[in-house]
Amino acid sequence: MQRPQLIEVYNCLCDEKRLRIVHLLAQSPLCVCHLQDILGLTQVAASKRLAYLRQRGLVESRRHEQWMIYSLPAKRTRELDWQLRCLQDCLTTHPVFGDDLRKLKDRQSDCCWVAGVAGAALTASVRSSKSKLTSR
Amino acid sequence: MQRPQLIEVYNCLCDEKRLRIVHLLAQSPLCVCHLQDILGLTQVAASKRLAYLRQRGLVESRRHEQWMIYSLPAKRTRELDWQLRCLQDCLTTHPVFGDDLRKLKDRQSDCCWVAGVAGAALTASVRSSKSKLTSR
DNA sequence: GACCTATATGCACATGAAGGTATATTCCTG
DNA sequence: CAGGAATATACCTTCATGTGCATATAGGTC
């Protein structure tokens, strides 16, 4: 929504879970259920953290069928850009954050990841594989 | 003390006063009374924030005669370096932070600033001008 | 329309950080 | 050594924030 000033960016990133969310979204847009799954959060905890980030302009969301796809904003402030570069440089080798990336890879064939990245059309083949998601 | 990990750096910088302290110390080492003065903090508030930053490794302190001189650590982690570059790039034109720098300039002839920067010897001339500081 | 899945939000509670007061510590000066 | 200035810290109160539960909303399927 609003353009993030530096302090608000810092406020967003000073919580481990929020930082992991932004780090993941820097790789790819994701739906709530995947973030929830990768981070081991309850639905409420994931949703509230995403709302927190959205209200401060660090992430954007769009609905795609039954999923909300979260992504980093298309237009980024200089402040946010600095942080994204910093995460890229400082976190990829970190055990927890590296693990997150690995878990992300494992899920990149799932339907709502495809939906998130493709953005528009959801093919019949994807639609038929949706049952895979029902795991929690 | 300890080496600051990224989340701890963010925790330190997500408070406006702490961010202003780090921004000022990026320009020059300073004693507590100057930080207190520039930021308009009480003695306790300034001291507590500096303790917070010190415990997380973002600043170091050394005593010089009756003053504690705070400065950024000589050896900086990659995480901290990123943030210092970011502050440099994002804050200098910001009204509040720019103001701080101006106030800093005004005080650069004062005794404990000289003590902080020179570090070692405190000349007699400086010593005699100390009364300037007593303004709370 | 009934029901399911995915997601958001209001409410109540617990926890952590910030601010203030009082006090302790250290150094300096006479 | 007495007194003052600079700084730190313990204790208490207050306020913000995270968390869980219950519930609301929205889209999809049959």
User: Where is A52: in which H helix or E strand?
Assistant: helix A43-55
Burial class (CB in 10 A: 0-12, 13-18, 19+), B2: exposed
Average pLDDT for B70-96: 91
Q: Which residues of A touch B7 (CB under 8 A)?
A: 13-16, 19
DSSP state of B4: P
A86 contact B CB<8A = yes
pLDDT at res. B85: 95
Tokens for B52? 């917070």
- At residue A110, the pLDDT reads 63
Contacts of B19 in chain A (CB under 8 A): 6-7, 10
pLDDT at B116: 52
The answer as to whether A1 is a domain residue is no
Residue of B nearest to A6 (CA): B90
pLDDT computed for residue B66 by the predictor: 82
Q: Which domain holds residue A53?
A: 6-134
**Residue B133: pLDDT over 50:** no
| CB of A90 less than 8 A from some CB of B | yes
Of B15, B16, B82, which has the smallest distance from its Cβ to A86's Cβ? B82
**ipTM reported for the complex surpasses 0.95:** no
> Whose CB is within 7 A of strand C?
A 31-33, 36, 43-44, 46-48, 50-51, 61, 66-68, 112, 133-134; B 15, 17-18, 42, 44-45, 48-49, 52, 63, 65-66, 127
* pLDDT range class, residue B126, cuts 50, 70, 90: very low
Q: How far, CA to CA in Å, does A62 sit from each of A54, A66, B98? A: 11, 11, 38
Tally of domains within chain A: 1
The percentage of chain B sitting over the pLDDT mark of 70, rounded to a whole number, equals: 76
Distance CA B101, CA B39 (A): 11
Residue of B17 and B122 predicted with greater confidence: B17
CATH number where A101 lies: 1.10.10.10
Each residue's pLDDT tens digit, B26-53: 999 998 988 998 999 999 999 999 999 9
Q: Is residue A110 part of a domain?
A: yes
Q: How far is the CA of A112 from the C1' of D11 (A)?
A: 53
The whole-number pLDDT of residue B110 equals: 65
Whether B108 has a pLDDT exceeding 90, the answer reads no
Q: Is A15 helix (H, G, I), strand (E, B) or coil?
A: coil
User: B14: which chain A residues are within 8 Å (Cβ-Cβ)?
Assistant: 7, 10-11, 13-14
Strand partners, A31: A69
In sequence order, which residues have a C-beta less than 8 Å from that of residue A10 and are 6 or more positions away?
Answer: B10, B13, B14, B19
* Tens-digit pLDDT profile for residues B55-76: 899 999 988 888 899 999 998 9
Q: Is A68 contained in some domain?
A: yes
Inter-chain touch B11–A14, beta carbons under 8 Å: yes
- Interface contact flag, A86 B91, Cβ < 8 Å: no
> What residues have CB less than 8 Å from A8, skipping those under 6 apart?
A56, A57
Residue B52 maps to a domain: yes
Smallest Cα distance from A55 to chain B, Å = 16
Which chain A residue lies closest to B80 (C-alpha atoms)? A86
Share of chain A above pLDDT 70, in %: 76
In a domain, B100, yes or no: yes
Protein-proximal positions, strand D, CB < 7 A: 4-10, 17-22, 26-29
Query: Residue A113's pLDDT band (boundaries 50, 70, 90)?
Result: low
pLDDT band at B3 (very low <50, low <70, confident <90, very high): low
B136 confidence band (pLDDT: 50, 70, 90): very low
